[in-house]
Chain A
């Protein structure tokens, strides 16, 4: 199967600062990647669809100016949480479509805002 990798796996940041999470497709190219957020004991919620070379598409209720997404290459998408607050603390997961039209997920990134 295809491999999707996220970095960092865990990050702690101070309230008001920004933090960047990277999502890479290691052995395939992905024109589209997806970003999800998951709160404890809840299911994954799609935040946005990241498109290489164009603007991301955000789901309703997700602030595009707060969650900046950049998909500058066919193997890398980044999610930047700007002016982070404690309520942004969550598990952030990316995914990309690999061979056979199958979507593969990264390991996830735990964000804690203190």
Chain B
């Protein structure tokens, strides 16, 4: 079962920052927070992951609260191509552990 809670949908104006929240209050100490997105009719795309420190890459930033019970994915300047379903997943990053997908957040970037 998915161990995360995300809003069902969100809208964001093009060019603005998109902030996608995720609650994972039962996260274990050895579990990472992963973010993926799925654009219609494609396989999921890896975005970013982190354990407890904030992370940034060319796609997004990940802000994890100090108690690690929630996190926020930030797309700094949303474009129309960022319209997708975004999945927040917690996973132990060792061994052959798969990803359990919840329902995710459907982000719509509006022109």
Contact = CB atoms under 8 A, between A and B. Distances in A.
Pair from one complex: yes
Q: Which of B94, B96, B101, B104 has the most CB of A within 10 A?
A: B96
B44 interface: yes
A75 B8 CA distance: 36
Interface size of A as a range: 20 to 34
A97 B96 contact: yes
Contacts of A36: 101
Contacts of B42: 107-108
A46 B102 CA distance: 11
Q: Lowest 3 CB-CB distances: which A-B pairs, in order?
A: A105-B43, A32-B96, A101-B93
Nearest to B48: A102
A26 to B, nearest CB: 14
B46 A102 contact: yes
20 contacts: A31-B96, A32-B96, A43-B101, A43-B103, A44-B38, A45-B101, A51-B96, A95-B44, A95-B98, A101-B93, A101-B94, A102-B46, A102-B49, A103-B98, A104-B46, A105-B43, A105-B44, A105-B46, A107-B43, A108-B42
Interface of B: 34, 36, 38, 41-46, 49, 87, 93-94, 96, 98-104
B5 to A, nearest CB: 14
Contacts, number: 54
B104 A43 contact: yes
Interface of A: 1, 4, 6, 31-32, 34, 36, 43-46, 49, 51, 91, 93, 95, 97, 101-108, 110
A91 B101 CA distance: 15
B89 to A, nearest CB: 9
B101 A44 contact: yes
Q: Which of A4, A105, A110 has the most CB of B within 10 A?
A: A105
